[in-house]
Structure 1
Amino acid sequence: MKNMFAKKLGFGLMRLPLNNPDDMADIDTKTLQSMVDVFMKQGFSYFDTAYVYTGSEEAICETLTKRYPRDSFTLTSKLPIFAVSAESDQEKIFHEQLERAGVDYFDIYLLHNVNVENYQTAQKFHSFEFMKQLKAEGKIKTLGISYHDNAELLDEVLTAHPEIEIILLQINYLDWDNDGIQSGKCYDVARKHQLPIIVMEPLKGGTLANVPKDAEKLFREYNPVASPASWAVRYAAGLDGVVMVLSGMSTMNQMLDNISYMQNFVPLNEDEKKIVATAAEIIAANITVPCTACMYCVGTCPEDIPIPQYFDLYNNRMQQTIDLPYYPQQQYYENYTKTRGKASDCVECGACEEHCPQHLKIIDLLKDVAKKFEVALPNE
């Protein structure tokens, strides 16, 4: 029987290789299969998917579960309580997930994106009781939650539900002291309840893989060959109680880099921790919108506004420190508006903010995006 936590690097299947970067459903299955093969060959065997990761469960069926013995890998998926409108939906979704993924059980099954609203829904629809029944039937082996809210609510949830065996938390060195995300405080609550911790967003949606030049200089001066991403993943993996760190790897190069330092994992030493703390200060000063491009907001927008893409363009534009006659981000924005909603099309319904794990004030931020980009749009 496999040891699901033998190595601390997990393949997060939310950001898969794509044939068309603007179409999350157009997964490059050939590249994904090669990545799965390399991952498994190097002794890594933990895979994390979810019902709402477009095409992910089906893709992992074709590239993993149809090609490897079931006991050779660990597969995690999640119950999207935010997509449930009736108690009976839970069983329908679960069986659809098994079929999509091509398995007859999940090693770990998580209640997805627990926050104050979704927790109320879970209580209303007896979601924990449903998951306990799945475990009793052998359809899931380990029951847990993924969590996006404050530490006080987390303590309440874990106290009320001792059946929770594992927790998925957003932890990275940039969010550790963030008052909105409360990575450090939520970590402390999980440790208080003696739960093993899986880490998501160790790179904060790629932010910590593409750091400002001053931060990268700090890293390179200490270790010229270590990537910025390696510092972030090692930071998370070295925390007490952390049994797995998920990385959303969308290219083979990203995977090979992660494997290079996680094959024989060594935690950060004290000097490295000090460097990371300084880097966090530099990075925080350079990010206007701390969006992780999780895409939870996109499917809820009635105006089809590509919110994460606009925030990425906005951040890049705001990081320009010299005046130029033309900014490439402007053209990319204009390209999007040909087929998608503009930032100014926002009707302020608030659906995006309800689903944002980073608790961003998306409505106000879209107004900032519109001010930056739309004044220069032609023919307006």
Structure 2
Amino acid sequence: MKKLGFGTMRLPLINPEDKTSIDQNYFNQLADKFIEKGFNYFDTAYPYHDEKSEGAIKKALTERYDRKDYILADKMPTILVKSGDEYPMYFNRQLERTGAEYFDYYLMHNMGKDRYAKTTEFGGFEFAEEMKKEGKIRKLGFSFHDDAETLDRILTEHPDVDFVQLQINYFDWNNKIIQSRLCYETVVRHCKPIIVMEPVKGGTLANLPKEAADLLREFNPDASPASYALRFAASLDNVFMVLSGMNTMEQVLDNTSVFDNLTPLNEEEKEILEKVIKIIEKSVEIPCTSCGYCMEVCPKNIPIPQLFGLYNNYKINNNFSNMYHNRIIYNRGKSSDCLNCHRCEKNCPQHIAIPDNLKKIAAFEK
């Protein structure tokens, strides 16, 4: 099993405004090329693409390949579970949607203090262990977005988990809120294998500010900005899989090329990335990765990730596009509709002060 996995949170779309409008034919082509290049790990989750990602997996893989030809990871939608009785319903629905018969890797999704407490109360890990005994789960783990102390507690209380999925990238490595390095070191201390998510931070490390991109291009004209981020994550001890959310053929070819010729970062490259971090910190004000978890709980249906992306572009090029703003909020809530309920903050893996940042955007609304 090669170290690169195909993440399906950001699949190609026919209509960029509609997350459910997955371009299935193009995704099939991307999956075919990925497998042709010798890679076979695919990662999905119940809520991705407004619950359409698992069905896209079925059409791209289950209906077109033998089950042994691909490795599939899926996740229990812990935010939706209201009682232990609901675990079988969601799990069986996932099996049906993907048509996969079993999951090679299965995760309790987005564990953190609140969600872990509910999962513990409802017996989530115990249910998953039963599915593992029945052969419907081959490897059991969890994805995690919280502090290292909480992570240590989960691993101490569940020493039998097979792996952990962490947000790791060179930009967040020493971030005091996200704690990439501290969480990584915690998992290593517990001797668990690691899957890396957000290695390019939702595209931030692939689409760098011009000053940063020029710096990397001057050092190596043939290496993409994303390749540095992927190599950083893949070269860490205990990491056996790095997920990348690819939605173009160019990305598939570039990423697979990186992993076919994987080399650790050298000291000069590490020094250059330190400079890149400083440049990004100056130009990206809101560290949103567009995961959409905030949208799962927003009572006003405010398109928070899209608005944050618009604001970050404004901070980089000093141009706030009212046309794109109006397009983003069409039939949805606008920034000034925020109730300051802070439910979104509790659900945000990046721990962004979302209502405060929405106020900055509301100032542009007409």
Gaps of 5+ in 2: none
Equivalent residue for 2:358, pick from 358, 361, 366: 366
Question: In structure 2, what is the Cα distance between the partners aligned to 1:14 and 1:308?
Answer: 14
2:132 is aligned with 1:135: yes
TM-score, with length taken from structure 1: 0.94
Equivalent residue for 1:334, pick from 291, 301, 326: 326
The answer (yes or no) to whether the contact 1:57–1:100 under 8 Å persists in 2 is yes
Partner in structure 1 of residue 293 of structure 2: 296
Within 5 Å, give how 1:229-240 maps onto structure 2: 229-240=226-237
The answer (yes or no) to whether the contact 1:39–1:45 under 8 Å persists in 2 is yes
How far 1:295 moved relative to its partner? Answer: 0.7
Q: Return 333-342 or 84-93, whichever deviates more.
A: 333-342
2:338 is aligned with 1:346: yes
Residue 127 of structure 2: SS of its match in structure 1? helix
The answer (yes or no) to whether the contact 2:30–2:247 under 8 Å persists in 1 is no
Question: In structure 2, what is the Cα distance between the partners aligned to 1:302 and 1:187?
Answer: 34
Equivalent residue for 2:245, pick from 248, 262, 274: 248
Partner in structure 2 of residue 3 of structure 1: none
How far 1:329 moved relative to its partner? Answer: 2.1
TM-score, with length taken from structure 2: 0.97
Within 5 Å, give how 1:1-380 maps onto structure 2: 6-54=1-49, 55-320=52-317, 327=319, 329-371=321-363, 373-374=364-365, 377=366
The answer (yes or no) to whether the contact 1:134–1:140 under 8 Å persists in 2 is yes
Question: In structure 2, what is the Cα distance between the partners aligned to 1:284 and 1:331?
Answer: 27
Gaps of 5+ in 1: 1-5, 322-326
What letter corresponds to residue 40 of structure 1 in structure 2?
I
The answer (yes or no) to whether the contact 1:209–1:229 under 8 Å persists in 2 is yes
How far 1:328 moved relative to its partner? Answer: 5.6
Question: In structure 1, what is the Cα distance between the partners aligned to 2:329 and 2:121?
Answer: 40
How far 1:336 moved relative to its partner? Answer: 2.5
Query: Per-residue displacement from partner, 1:30-72 (whole Å, max 9, x unpaired)?
Result: 0000001000011000000001113110001001111111111
Query: Per-residue displacement from partner, 1:266-321 (whole Å, max 9, x unpaired)?
Result: 22122212211221121122110000000111132221211000000000001125
The answer (yes or no) to whether the contact 1:316–1:329 under 8 Å persists in 2 is no
Question: In structure 1, what is the Cα distance between the partners aligned to 2:142 and 2:113?
Answer: 13
**RMSD (CA atoms):** 1.1
Question: In structure 2, what is the Cα distance between the partners aligned to 1:196 and 1:285?
Answer: 34
The answer (yes or no) to whether the contact 2:310–2:320 under 8 Å persists in 1 is no
The answer (yes or no) to whether the contact 2:288–2:350 under 8 Å persists in 1 is yes
Question: In structure 1, what is the Cα distance between the partners aligned to 2:328 and 2:33?
Answer: 35
Q: Return 351-360 or 111-120, whichever deviates more.
A: 351-360
What letter corresponds to residue 18 of structure 1 in structure 2?
L
The answer (yes or no) to whether the contact 1:154–1:186 under 8 Å persists in 2 is yes
Residue 89 of structure 1: SS of its match in structure 2? helix
How far 1:334 moved relative to its partner? Answer: 2.1
> What count of residue pairs does the alignment treat as equivalent?
364
Partner in structure 2 of residue 324 of structure 1: none
Question: In structure 2, what is the Cα distance between the partners aligned to 1:64 and 1:211?
Answer: 33
Residue 233 of structure 1: SS of its match in structure 2? helix
Residue 205 of structure 1: SS of its match in structure 2? helix
**Identical-pair percentage:** 51
What letter corresponds to residue 70 of structure 1 in structure 2?
R
Query: Per-residue displacement from partner, 1:11-37 (whole Å, max 9, x unpaired)?
Result: 001000000111111100000000010
